[in-house]
Structure formats: C-alpha cells, structure tokens
Amino acid sequence: MNIQQISSVPFSDQKPGTSGLRKKVKVFQTAHYLENFLQAIFNVATDLKGGILILGGDGRYYNTEAIQTILKMAVAHGISHIKVGQNGLLSTPAVSHLIRKYSAAGGIILSASHNPGGPEGDFGIKFNSANGGPAETKFTDHVYAESQHITTYQLAEIDNVSLQTQGQFQLGDTLVEIIDPVSDYADLMEQIFDFAKIKALFKSGLLSICFDAMHAVTGPYANEIFQRRLNAAVGSVINSIPQEDFGGGHPDPNLIYAKELVERLNQGKDAPNLGAASDGDGDRYMLIGRNFFVNPSDCLAIMTANAHLLSGYQLGLSGVARSLPTSRAVDKVAETLGIECYETPTGWKYFGNLLDDRRITLCGEESFGGGSDHIREKDGIWAVLFWLNLVTIKHQSVEEITRAHWARFGRHYYSRHDYEGLDSSVAEQLMDGLRKRIETLKGETFAGHTVSDCDDFSYTDPVDHSVTEHQGIRILFQDESRIVFRLSGTGTEGATLRVYLERYEADSALHDLDTQVALADMISIARELAELKTRCDREQPDIIT
C-alpha cells in the first residue's frame, strides 16, 4: 500500500476550544486544513499506533467526507483496528462507551454539538482519550503546538470506504469495522435502568413521552430505546431521521429551538407526561413536563437527591460536581447528603479526573448537560431515562417531583443571558474591566444586595493538582444570589458573552414567580457592572434560557 507524503503549511487558527476544534464548514473544506489538524492529533496521540480507534459523528454536513479522510490517515499511521459507526453516525456518549468497552486508545468525534449544520453551518472535530473522555488541556495544547509546525501529512492511497453496510475488511495492516452505532449503547442503558418497570408503565398507558431528536444523531438511539425496547407508543420520537442540516433547524435543546416539542407538551391533559429533546451529537438534553420546564441545574440537584431510589445507583453517591456557571441547587443537596460537591470550570473534561478517581458519581452543567460514572461524557439519552425511571418509582409527574424538591431544599431561580456576535476585542475589554472592578466590589451594595465575595475563578484539580485560571468572573451576594460572567468557547464567529444569574428562595410561598421577574435585580446589576450598553451597545440579550 502506497503512503503519500503531502506537503502543507501550518494554519494559525487551529487551537482547540473546550470541545475540540470548531469552525465553519467552509474553513474545514480549505485544502489541507482538516488533514493538518488530524496530523497534529496523530503526532501527539502516539498510543493510537497499533491500537483501536473509535470513529463517528453526528451526521452533519461534511461528516462522511471527513471520515474518509480520517480513515486514509489512520491507515497511514498504523492504527490496527478502526470501529466506525454505520453511515458515519455515532453519538458522543456512544463513542465514550465504545472506547471504554473495547479498551480503545481513543476516539475521534465529528460534531459541532448544538451549533447549526449544512454547507453554511459549523463543523467540529474532537479527540477523546483512552478513558473515554475529552482530551485534557495539556493534550489539546500539544496538538495546537504541533499544528503550528506541520509541513507534511501522511495519507494512505486507498479508495473511499462504504459506510452503509455493517461488516469488516482489511486495509493493509488495519482492520476496518463498520458497526451498529446503537446496540452497544442501548445495552448499557438497559444495565443501568429498570427497563421492565418503565416498559410496564408505558404499556399501562399511565406514562407517555415525546422525544424530539431534532433531526440529529439521537433519532436512531431514541427509536431503539424508547419505542422498541420500552414500547413507548409509535410516534413518541419526532424528527428522528438525522439530516445533514438538521432539517434546517438548530439542534440546541431549549425552549426556543425545540418549538414543536414544547407545543406538544402544552396541550393540557392530552399532552405526554414527559417531554425531552437532545442536541446534534446526543450529549445534551432538555426535560419538560406538561406546561412545565425544569432547568438543567435543578435537574442535576433532583437527580442527586433521588439517585438512591434507582437500582443503578442504590450503593449511593461518592460525590457530585457541577460547572462554575451551573446553579448551586446541587450544593444544597450535597450538604444534606453529606457528600462532596466540586465546582469545576466549564468543559466536561474537568469532570474526568474526578470520575476516574471515584470522587464523584454524578455531574452536570447548566448548558443542558448531565452524566454519571457510566461513561466520561455528558449523556442526553441517559438523563431522560433517569427521569423516566424516577417517574415510575415515585408515581409523580415531572412537575410534582420538582415542586417537592423545591419545598425541601428551596428554589434557585436561575437564567442565562447570551449576548452573541460581539466583537472579540470589545468582549475581552469588557472582561478585563470586570477583573479590575472585582478588586473593590466586596462590601458594595447594589439594589439592596451586598457583595460578599468576588473573584476571577481559578480551579485546582484535586487529583493531578493542575491549575486552570481565568474561567469566569464570580460575584456572590450575602443573600446567596450570584452573577457569573464568562466568554463562551463553543462558537465559530465573534464572541459570546454569557451572563449567569441566580437567586435563592427558601420560602415555598415564593416559588411560583416568573423567573425573569424573580431575577430582575440581578439582571439590572449585571448590566450595570458589565457596562453592556456603553461597551457593546446592547440593551437586551440575544438568547435567554
């Protein structure tokens, strides 16, 4: 087999963010762009040679073309066995599970998660390490450094591989296997949750679901698990066929983009008991009841408080972790349970060491991500099954379970305001201005709320003692309210400022306020502190979740 040495020159913009390298499709289609980044990965991930590689993506535009390139480069670099999802599809949680189940050296995931797809949309590539989780910062930093010195890349001179049919064949010294993308993952879910109990409640008619796959990768998973294995009614899964442009929609599971799902759950007594949606690559989820939305921060807290009821978690929780922007609702639960609660930077990779060291069992983030120690990625289908199992055990609705939780632990009113498409230099200046202000903010009072503490969040990993700095500006108030400012690392154009707003209310008589009304003081204070009108000429956020 002929191995080609292709000449190239470095690209200066190949520094991975919190979830790999994300760019517009047209950027990845630039001659040598994808190949250069892949060569940098293969240069750093030397354990891949002679090992197993898991490969797949969310089916977005350019997915199959990129897989063909990866296969040719993987063969050229001596990977002994490549497991590829049929039709190029594998959800991010499925990749993590397959890496762990088959002791793979790593996995390559092609996705830009919840970002739009299509020829004018976004594309992304991420490497997951041998523990099944996203590569650590030191790995991605090394990849970036390598990318700045690429002068050639290696490519095996072979024909494109058919991805449509399951089977295996040899390409030189490399075994390529086209696998069912769903079965291994579905089997794992059946080991964790009480499928018999859930199936019985579906059969009785007392439980019903509407799951919106948003024309993304979870469609085949949801059809297999909810409709085939659990016998949910035909039609319980909507928008289930993956499409390269996600049906022209935005595969972000929230109240804005999952409009059809929300409408179905707002049909009164005829609506399904439980509604859920997942994103492009299947690692995020939204959960709603009839006319009732549960924010992801509350989801994590409720899961933590009730995990002992589920057979897969009856041994108890070793601990729990949340990302910095996620509300502190789970902190209250952890304190009551007497378990550790860790606060990490944004990015699922920061949970990996805690999971591997058995310091935590559950983890989650406000951006619609939840997970546990079953894999090393967040997992949308898993989270929905957790709630289905909980509903069958408690014989309560999603709303009843949530309200009972608030009555016991108090309610954390919570919202995220996104200001998108900001000039990057202006956004950085805004953050620098906040960093300067935090030096004098402690003790100041705004609209009757006194600042008790403030900082630029820095995280020291308790396992490997690595330090991650400048992760967001935290402003904490004496009444347990909180504001967090940070710049997002998941976009492909300009900068997105995310403002996280939180207010704690213990009085159950005040648990029915409109969230934005309850947070009115925090919203006003945040705008004043960040000088949003002056610096960015923005009166209102682009997206409120």
Packing angle of the helix pair 137-147, 33-44 (nearest 10 deg)? 130
Packing angle of the helix pair 380-394, 296-306 (nearest 10 deg)? 50
> For 426-524, where are the E strands, in sequence order?
445-446, 449-456, 459-460, 467-468, 473-477, 482-487, 495-505
113 is catalytic: yes
Segments in 357-474 forming alpha helices (H): 380-394, 398-409, 424-441
C-alpha closest to that of 277 among 264, 267, 348: 264
Do 104 and 384 touch, CB atoms closer than 8 A?
A: no
What SS3 class is residue 239? Answer: coil
Do 504 and 477 touch, CB atoms closer than 8 A?
A: no
C-alpha closest to that of 286 among 229, 404, 366: 366
Positive/negative CA dihedral, 371, 372, 377, 380:
negative
Out of 96, 113, 147, 240, pick the active-site residue.
113
Do 515 and 522 touch, CB atoms closer than 8 A?
A: no
Do 83 and 177 touch, CB atoms closer than 8 A?
A: yes
Q: Show which residues are catalytic.
A: 113
